[in-house]
Structures are given as C-alpha cells and as structure tokens.
Amino acid sequence: MSEVYIFNIAWQEIVNWFLVQPIYAQVLVLIGVFAVLTLAVILVYYILKGVAYLVYYILKGVYYLLKGIGLLFYKIFEGLYYAISGKTKPVKNSAPEQQAPPQQQIIRQVKQEQEPIVPTQQSVQIVRPEVAYCSECGNKFTGSMLQTLQESGVAYCIHCGNKKTQAYEMSIESQ
C-alpha cells in the first residue's frame, strides 16, 4: 500500500483512522472538515479580494505618479524649448470661448423677459385714456357726443365733422 504525502502529512493513516471510527463520528468529522473548508475558502476569497484591491490602488497610484512626472518633464522641456528658441509661447484662446456662452444666455434671458411686456404696454395704451379724443382733429369729445354715439351708434365730431361709429365707441367703453 503506497502512502500519499501532501504537506508532509501521512493521509493514509488519517483515512485508516477515519474508516475504523463509528458512523456518527464519521458524520461529525465530515461536517467539521466541510465547515473548515468553507471557512478556509471564504477567508482565501477575502484575502485575495483585499490583495487585488491593494494591487489595484498601488497600480493606480503609480499611474498618477508617472503621469504627474511626465507632465512635469513636458512642462520643463517646453519651457526650455521656448527659452532656447526665443519664440514667445502661444497664448491659448480658450478664455473667450468660455466667456461666449454666458453672454448668449444673458441675451436669451433678456429676450424672454421683454416678450411678455410688449402686449401689456399695448393694452395699457388702449385702456388707460380717461377722456376720449377725436382721432382726426385730436379735440376732446363732449358728453353729448358720447351720449349720441351710445344711443344711435353713430356720432360726428363737433370740431372737424369726422364720423365716429360703434367700433370707436367700444374702444372708448373699454376704459
């Protein structure tokens, strides 16, 4: 009978001992071994997970470190290049592009605020006159003229003789 050695343990002796045990002891041993194996697997899983996170963040840190060093070298050599060649460093025109959108937004906002005001101004001009004036000569309407207009629907200006109809009356009454 060949003996199997794993981790310097005589497994054959353990198996022989296990086989001579009563059945309830074998069940208990199997449950115990299963529980230990499960715990070992969970433990190994979390250890590997922790190691993986550790390696990930180390690599990430190294990446940003190298990126920063590369950017630093780039700025240094760029500065040396412009210093040696005597050329002036071109100014990036990104600033006006960033300022443009807010101005357009302000113009849009002003337009949106102005649009509702226009109708109210027109309605004020129609409604507000407390005294009616002739649209032809500009003279003030008399009370009898307004009364005639309301009664017959047609009246004539006493100053210029211009005919006033029901439509003109309605515009007066809307005050």
Residues that bind Zn ion (CB under 5 A): 134, 136-137, 157, 159-160, 162
Distance CA 133, CA 87 (A): 76
Distance CA 124, CA 17 (A): 109
* Beta carbon nearer to Zn ion, 132 or 134: 134
Nearest approach, Cβ of residue 170 and Zn ion (Å):
18
* Beta carbon nearer to Zn ion, 39 or 158: 158
Q: How far is CA 46 from CA 37, 58, 111, in A?
A: 14, 18, 62
In the chain the first and final C-alpha atoms are separated, in Å, by 121
Nearest approach, Cβ of residue 141 and Zn ion (Å):
9
* Beta carbon nearer to Zn ion, 105 or 171: 171
Nearest approach, Cβ of residue 129 and Zn ion (Å):
15
Residue-level length of the chain: 175
* Beta carbon nearer to Zn ion, 75 or 140: 140
